[in-house]
């Protein structure tokens, strides 16, 4: 695409010279720049991309987009905000791909990964070609790509959507993090369905207060479009049992479909029966009623199922397919995943890394446990510190054997993180074992028949970050090894 054609999208910009090179790619990382790239300078949290403009030109950049004049031998386009401009240019460069996709965005503190996977399976069972973007990976058809963020930058996002369209994907489902909403990574995404799971405490390191965290989540709904287009109707799927939903409802002119268990909603679960091996309920919707027999357990799983059902209904999937698919789903990797090494106690690996998710999962375990409950849990470094005490209190409240350990300490001292957890439960009964492998071994060595060990916080993760080093670490493998050695 010609530079001038691309730039016609920007209303306020200054371009030095009148050259009009062919732009073959857009890059925000100088290390990715190739001959013919447009390099966009982003001033980040760690470094300033403007400092890499010269390097980008040496690597062949044909033009540079910047927030200040730069003396370079290629055209320099100056705009007030390169991040906003990047979202617009990426959308244009990749052919406005979200206009050609049915796009479903899922936001909320907990349940985004789980819910997106439920929706993915339902759409696939309705013979639709899907793509998925989230914490674990990007999926385009059968191909899986690794990711750094739950919601990538606009450039990666639009490029990914472009590839999806090229490969015949018709429906894309994505997790939309509050960081992404706040940083404008999803500007330009034309959502058809926006789903809200829940709002509880997390990320206060970034958002500071729950009010601004709620406001960031709300951006998904205020960006859902304010015109009524009968050919492309938009739907906000809101959790009627979460008080934040009434605010989000005001933010959008789109159709609203509520789901819930306790309050009167459009999509509801009635006659719920829970057992250690599954959950059944009547899925009551504006399109009729179907019995659902799920293998997933816990009240939180019913919420995810209802959110997925409502999003699928808003995407025109027949109710019978929705109910049948919810019955088939085995679960999502690292979410309430059972580790079975032939032992006579249960081991569950789960991604609960917030107070609310930990409480949900532990209370689900407590509903069914015959013996004692063990929990192995830590808190990530360089993340919301205020949740540490609370998570420790929840662990002590629900577990007979709470074992505090390290999660991903990142740049923080692991012992200092443990101390902050312990500050919430001084004088109570707990164990503190800094080394996560040792903590898991300790739990396995002490569990008796009928006990349950919940290993929380890292779920699907296959690494542990200590300082700047990344070590191989998989809770499921470590637990399995401990079990095998124990029952030898």
Ligand X SMILES: CC(=O)N[C@H]1[C@@H](OP(=O)(O)OP(=O)(O)OC[C@H]2O[C@@H](n3ccc(=O)[nH]c3=O)[C@H](O)[C@@H]2O)O[C@H](CO)[C@@H](O)[C@@H]1O[C@H](C)C(=O)N[C@@H](C)C(=O)N[C@H](CCC(=O)O)C(=O)O
List contacts with ligand ATP (CB under 6 A): 110-114, 135, 150, 175, 197-198, 300, 303-304, 335, 350-352, 356-357, 360-361, 459
111 binds, among ligand X, Mg ion, ligand ATP, none (CB under 5 to 8 A by kind): ligand ATP
Q: Which is nearer to ligand X, 334 or 402 (CB)?
A: 334
Query: Does residue 46 touch ligand X according to CB under 6 A?
Result: yes
Question: From the list 30, 37, 135, 223, which residue makes contact with Mg ion (rule: CB under 5 A)?
Answer: 135
Other Cβ atoms less than 10 A from the Cβ of 354: the count is 22
The residue assigned the tokens 């450039």 is 155
- Cβ distance to ligand X smaller for residue 347 or 458: 458
387 binds Mg ion (CB under 5 A): no
353: contact with ligand API by CB under 6 A: yes
Among 139, 159, 207, 458, binds ligand API (CB under 6 A): 458
Would you count residue 150 as binding ligand X (CB under 6 A)? yes
Give strand ranges (E) for 67-204. 76-78, 102-107, 130-133, 138-140, 143-145, 171-175, 193-196
Using an 8 Å Cβ cutoff, are 88 and 96 in contact? Answer: no
Nearer to ligand API, 266 or 461 (CB): 461
Give 75 or 108: the residue with its C-beta nearer to ligand ATP.
Answer: 108
Selected from 83, 112, 187, 335, the binder of Mg ion by CB under 5 A is 112
Q: With respect to ligand ATP, which residue has the nearer C-beta, 165 or 394? A: 394
Are the C-beta atoms of 306 and 267 separated by less than 8 Å?
yes
Min CB(444)–ligand API separation in Å: 20
In the annotated binding site for meso-2,6-diaminopimelate, the residues are 383, 407-410, 457, 461
113: partner contacted, choices ligand ATP, ligand API, ligand X, none (Cβ within 5-8 A by kind): ligand ATP
**Are 438 and 311 in contact, with CB atoms under 8 Å apart?**
no
Of residues 108, 134, 298, 380, which one binds ligand API by CB under 6 A?
Answer: 380
Residue closer to ligand X, measured from CB, 181 or 313: 181
Q: Where does 126-257 have alpha helices with state H?
A: 154-166, 178-183, 204-207, 210-222, 244-251
**Stretch binding Mg ion (CB under 5 A), from 129-137, 235-243, 292-300, 390-398:** 129-137
Residue 116 engages Mg ion in binding (rule: CB under 5 A) = no
* 222 touches ligand X by CB under 6 A: no
Tell whether residue 207 is a contact of ligand API (CB under 6 A).
no
Question: Which among 146-154, 223-231, 362-370, 395-403 is the span making contact with ligand X, rule CB under 6 A?
Answer: 146-154
CB 441 within 8 A of CB 480: no
Q: What would the two tokens of residue 235 be? A: 């739907």
Residues present in the chain in total: 488
| 165, interface contact from ligand ATP, Mg ion, ligand X, none, CB < 5-8 Å by kind | none
Q: CB-based burial of residue 437 (10 Å sphere; 0-12 exposed, 13-18 middle, 19+ buried)?
A: middle
- Residue 31's contacts (CB-CB under 8 Å, 6 or more residues apart) are none
| Alpha-carbon distances, residue 119 vs 102, 198, 217, 304, 328 (angstroms) | 13, 17, 20, 10, 13
Q: What does the alpha-carbon distance between residue 67 and residue 83 come to, in Å, rounded to a whole number?
A: 10
Q: What are the angstrom distances between the C-alpha of 144 and each of 107, 119, 140?
A: 22, 17, 7
* 352 lines the binding site for ligand X (CB under 6 A): no
Q: Which is nearer to Mg ion, 197 or 285 (CB)?
A: 197
CA angle 337, 368, 275 (to 5 degrees): 80
Please state the φ and ψ torsions of residue 389, each to the nearest 5 degrees: -60, -45
Residues 6+ apart with CB under 8 A from 432: 403, 404, 405, 418, 422
Q: Which does 457 bind (CB under 5 to 8 A by kind): ligand API, ligand ATP, Mg ion, none?
A: ligand API
Q: How many residues bind Mg ion (CB under 5 A)?
A: 4
Q: Determine which residue in the list 114, 177, 285, 405 makes contact with ligand X, applying CB under 6 A.
A: 177
Q: How many residues bind ligand API (CB under 6 A)?
A: 9
Q: Candidates 61, 408, 436, 447: give the one binding ligand API (CB under 6 A).
A: 408
149 binds ligand X (CB under 6 A): yes
Q: For residue 208, give the 3-state DSSP assignment.
A: coil
> Rounded to a whole number, what is the largest CA-CA distance in the chain?
77
- Determine the interface stretch with ligand API among 18-26, 32-40, 190-198, 453-461 (rule: CB under 6 A): 453-461
Core vs surface per residue 58-88: b (16+ CB within 10 A) or e:
ebebbbbbbbeebebebbbbbbeebbebbbb
Please, which residue, 28 or 313, has the CB nearer to ligand X? 28
Which residues of this protein are in contact with ligand X, per CB under 6 A?
28-31, 42, 44-47, 49, 52, 135, 148-151, 153, 177, 179-180
């Amino acid at each position: 695409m010609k530079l001038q054609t691309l730039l016609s999208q920007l209303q306020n910009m200054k371009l030095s010279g009148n050259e009009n090179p062919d732009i073959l790619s857009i890059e925000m990382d100088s290390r990715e720049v190739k001959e013919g790239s447009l390099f966009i300078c982003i001033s980040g949290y760690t470094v300033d991309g403007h400092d890499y403009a010269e390097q980008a030109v040496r690597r062949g950049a044909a033009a540079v987009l910047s927030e200040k004049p730069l003396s370079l031998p290629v055209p320099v386009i100056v705009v007030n905000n390169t991040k906003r401009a990047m979202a617009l240019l990426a959308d244009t460069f990749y052919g406005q791909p979200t206009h050609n996709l049915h796009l479903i965005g899922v936001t909320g503190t907990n349940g985004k990964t789980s819910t997106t996977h439920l929706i993915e399976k339902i759409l696939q069972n309705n013979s639709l070609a899907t793509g998925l973007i989230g914490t674990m990976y990007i999926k385009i058809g059968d191909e899986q790509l690794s990711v750094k963020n739950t919601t990538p930058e606009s450039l990666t996002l639009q490029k990914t959507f472009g590839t999806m369209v090229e490969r015949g994907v018709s429906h894309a489902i994505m997790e939309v993090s509050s960081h992404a909403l706040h940083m404008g990574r999803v500007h330009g995404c034309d959502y058809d369905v926006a789903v809200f799971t829940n709002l509880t405490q997390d990320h206060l390191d970034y958002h500071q207060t729950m009010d601004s965290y709620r406001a960031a989540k709300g951006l998904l709904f205020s960006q859902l479009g304010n015109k009524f287009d009968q050919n492309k109707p938009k739907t906000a799927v809101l959790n009627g049992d979460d008080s934040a939903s009434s605010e989000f409802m005001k933010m959008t002119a789109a159709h609203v479909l509520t789901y819930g268990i306790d309050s009167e909603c459009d999509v509801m679960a009635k006659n719920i029966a829970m057992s250690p091996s599954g959950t059944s309920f009547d899925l009551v919707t504006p399109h009729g009623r179907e019995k659902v027999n799920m293998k997933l357990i816990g009240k939180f799983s019913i919420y995810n199922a209802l959110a997925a059902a409502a999003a699928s209904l808003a995407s025109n999937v027949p109710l019978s397919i929705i109910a049948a698919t919810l019955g088939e789903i085995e679960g999502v990797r690292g979410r309430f995943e059972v580790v079975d090494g032939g032992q006579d106690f249960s081991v569950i690996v789960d991604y609960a890394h917030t107070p609310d998710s930990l409480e949900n999962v532990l209370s689900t375990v407590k509903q069914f446990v015959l013996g004692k409950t063990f929990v192995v849990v830590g808190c990530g470094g360089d993340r919301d510190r205020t949740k540490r005490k609370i998570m420790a209190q929840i662990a002590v409240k629900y577990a007979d054997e709470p074992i505090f350990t390290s999660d991903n300490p990142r740049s923080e001292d692991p012992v200092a993180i443990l101390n902050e957890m312990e500050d919430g439960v001084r004088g109570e009964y707990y164990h503190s074992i800094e080394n996560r492998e040792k903590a898991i071994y300790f739990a396995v060595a002490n569990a008796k028949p009928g006990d349950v060990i919940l290993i929380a916080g890292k779920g699907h993760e296959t690494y542990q970050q200590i300082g700047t080093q990344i070590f191989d670490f998989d809770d499921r493998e470590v637990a399995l090894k401990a079990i095998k050695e124990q029952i030898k």
